[in-house]
C-alpha cells in the first residue's frame, strides 16, 4: 500500500488531460476543464489508499462525434510504473456481458438461434437447467447459482491465479452434483454462470470460438481497435499496456456470509495483471480503454450494432427487486436489468444506462443518458470492499458537470 502522503502528491502531479475537438478558447470549457480535473484529482488523493488505487482513466463524451474530454490520473503501478494515458488498458469485467448479449442477438438476427430457446436446446449436458431460456440467462432471472461466489472456486483462484479453466470447468463449480449443492434462487439474481452458459451457446450457434465470433461480428465492425478478448492469459502485447490491478476485497462468499476468513484471502494485495482470465470468460474477460468502450456504447445505442428488433430486446428491462418486467427505472424500481446492461434512476441526475464491471483487480464503469447525450466511462486498478468503493459516485459527479 502507499507509504505516506508524498506518494499522493506524486500521483497528483501525474494528472494529465487531453482535449478532443474542444474549443480551448472558450471560457465555459476552460472553467469546466478545471472542474473535471479537480474531481478526478480529489478521488485519487482522498480514496487512493482506502481503495488501493494507483491510476485512473476517464473519458467524457459530450455527443457523437464530439466534443470529448479525456482525463488521466496517477500511474500504472503502486510503486511507480508509467503515467496512465488514454492508451492504458484495463480489464472491463462484466461490461463484457453486453458484448455477449449483443453477440447472441446478432446471431438471432442471422437466424441462427432464438433467445427464447433453452439451455436444453443448446446444452443438453445440463438437464437441471434445461428449461431456462437464453433470455433468462441474459437478464439474470434464471435462478442459477453463481460460480464466482463458490468458496471452492474462490479459494482455488486465490491460491493459483495462473490456473486455466474451460467454460465447462466453471460450470462445474455451480452445477448440482454430489459435491456441489449451491442453493438456486428466485426472481432476479446476479450470476456469472448465466453468461458462461451464454458464451457456450454463442460458440455453438456461430460454429466458431466465442472470441472469434466476438471479433468478426462486433469488434471489427464497430472499429474497436483497443478492445481485446482472450480465452486465457493475455499476450505481452496487451499486458504491457495494462495497468497493474490489485485485489483488496476481504468479503466472505455469498454462500458463506459468516465466514471467519474470506476464501480469497490468499489473493489480498496481489497484482493480477498477468493472471489467467479464463475464470471470467464470456461473463467478464475483456480488456479495453474508456475511449474504446465509449465508442462501443455509442454504436450500440445508435443502432449500429443490432437491427431494431434485437436492440429493443437487448434494452428490455426486468426489476432487480422482483425480476418482473418493467418499462423503465423509476423511483418505484430504481434499477432495471436488461440483456447485459443496467438502467438506473438517481434523483440527482435522472435516468441513466449504467454498468460497473469488476474483476479481481479492476473496476470499469459507464454512465449514459439518452436525454442529455452525455456518456462518462471510467476505469481504475483495484477491487476493494464494496463499502469502500466510491468510484461510481465520482463518475456521477463528472456526468452532472458535463450535463449541466
- Each residue's pLDDT tens digit, 38-53: 999 999 999 999 999 9
**What is the rounded CA–CA span in Å between residue 195 and residue 185?**
16
**What is the residue range of 12's domain?**
5-89+287-298+349-403
Boundary-marking domain end, from 238, 256, 284: 284
Same domain? For 259 and 395 the reply is no
Boundary-marking domain end, from 284, 306, 322: 284
Same domain? For 137 and 79 the reply is no
Same domain? For 85 and 187 the reply is no
| Torsion sign across C-alpha atoms 60, 228, 188, 337 | positive
pLDDT at 235: 95
For the full predicted model, state whether its pTM sits above 0.75: yes
User: What's 63's domain CATH number?
Assistant: 3.30.450
| Whole-number average pLDDT of the chain | 92
Residue 329 inside a domain? The answer is no
Work out the average pLDDT over 375-396.
97
**What is the rounded CA–CA span in Å between residue 210 and residue 207?**
9
pLDDT at 370 over 50: yes
pLDDT at 355: 98
Same domain? For 63 and 111 the reply is no
pLDDT at 156 over 60: yes
Same domain? For 202 and 186 the reply is yes
Residue 189 inside a domain? The answer is yes
User: What's 133's domain CATH number?
Assistant: 3.40.710.10
Same domain? For 266 and 144 the reply is yes
Same domain? For 69 and 104 the reply is no
Residue 344 inside a domain? The answer is no
Q: What is the pLDDT of residues 317-369, one digit of tens each?
A: 999 999 999 999 998 889 999 999 999 998 888 999 999 999 999 999 999 99
Same domain? For 64 and 191 the reply is no
pLDDT at 391: 98
pLDDT at 64: 87
pLDDT at 17 over 80: no
pLDDT at 287 over 70: yes
pLDDT at 19: 43
Same domain? For 84 and 60 the reply is yes
pLDDT at 4: 33
Domain count, the chain: 2
Boundary-marking domain end, from 284, 319, 334: 284
Amino acid at each position: 500500500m502507499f507509504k505516506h502522503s508524498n506518494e499522493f502528491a506524486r500521483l497528483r502531479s501525474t494528472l494529465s488531460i487531453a482535449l478532443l475537438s474542444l474549443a480551448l478558447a472558450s471560457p465555459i470549457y476552460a472553467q469546466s476543464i478545471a472542474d473535471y480535473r479537480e474531481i478526478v484529482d480529489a478521488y485519487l488523493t482522498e480514496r487512493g489508499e482506502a481503495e488501493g488505487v494507483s491510476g485512473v482513466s476517464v473519458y467524457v463524451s459530450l455527443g457523437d462525434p464530439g466534443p470529448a474530454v479525456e482525463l488521466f490520473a496517477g500511474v500504472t503501478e503502486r510503486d511507480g510504473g508509467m503515467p496512465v494515458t488514454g492508451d492504458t488498458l484495463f480489464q472491463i469485467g462484466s461490461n463484457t456481458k453486453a458484448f455477449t448479449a449483443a453477440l447472441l442477438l446478432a446471431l438471432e438476427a442471422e437466424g441462427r438461434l432464438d433467445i427464447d430457446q433453452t439451455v436444453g436446446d443448446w446444452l443438453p449436458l445440463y438437464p437441471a437447467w434445461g428449461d431456462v431460456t437464453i433470455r433468462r440467462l441474459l437478464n439474470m432471472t434464471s435462478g442459477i447459482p453463481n460460480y464466482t461466489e463458490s468458496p471452492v472456486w474462490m479459494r482455488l483462484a486465490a491460491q493459483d491465479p495462473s490456473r486455466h479453466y474451460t467454460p465447462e470447468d466453471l460450470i462445474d463449480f455451480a452445477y448440482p452434483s454430489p459435491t456441489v449443492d449451491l442453493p438456486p434462487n428466485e426472481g432476479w439474481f446476479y450470476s456469472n454462470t448465466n453468461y458462461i452458459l451464454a458464451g457456450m451457446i454463442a460458440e455453438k450457434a456461430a460454429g466458431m470460438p466465442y472470441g472469434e465470433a466476438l471479433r468478426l461480428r462486433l469488434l471489427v465492425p464497430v472499429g474497436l481497435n483497443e478492445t481485446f478478448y482472450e480465452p486465457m492469459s493475455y499476450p505481452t502485447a496487451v499486458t504491457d499496456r495494462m495497468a497493474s490491478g490489485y485485489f483488496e476485497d476481504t468479503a466472505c462468499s455469498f454462500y458463506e456470509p459468516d465466514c471467519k476468513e474470506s476464501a480469497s484471502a490468499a489473493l489480498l494485495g496481489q497484482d493480477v495483471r498477468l493472471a489467467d482470465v479464463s475464470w471470467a470468460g464470456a461473463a467478464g474477460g475483456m480488456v479495453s480503454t474508456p475511449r474504446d468502450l465509449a465508442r462501443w456504447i455509442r454504436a450500440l445505442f445508435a443502432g449500429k450494432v443490432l437491427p431494431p428488433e434485437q436492440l429493443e430486446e437487448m434494452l428490455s428491462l426486468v426489476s432487480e427487486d422482483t425480476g418482473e418486467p418493467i418499462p423503465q427505472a423509476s423511483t418505484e424500481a430504481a434499477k432495471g436489468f436488461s440483456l447485459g446492461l443496467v438502467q438506473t434512476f438517481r434523483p440527482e441526475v435522472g435516468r441513466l444506462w449504467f454498468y460497473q464491471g469488476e474483476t479481481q483487480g479492476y473496476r470499469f464503469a459507464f454512465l449514459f443518458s439518452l436525454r442529455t447525450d452525455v456518456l462518462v466511462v471510467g476505469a481504475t486498478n483495484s477491487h476493494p470492499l464494496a463499502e469502500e468503493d466510491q468510484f461510481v459516485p465520482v463518475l456521477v459527479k463528472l456526468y452532472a458537470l458535463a450535463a449541466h
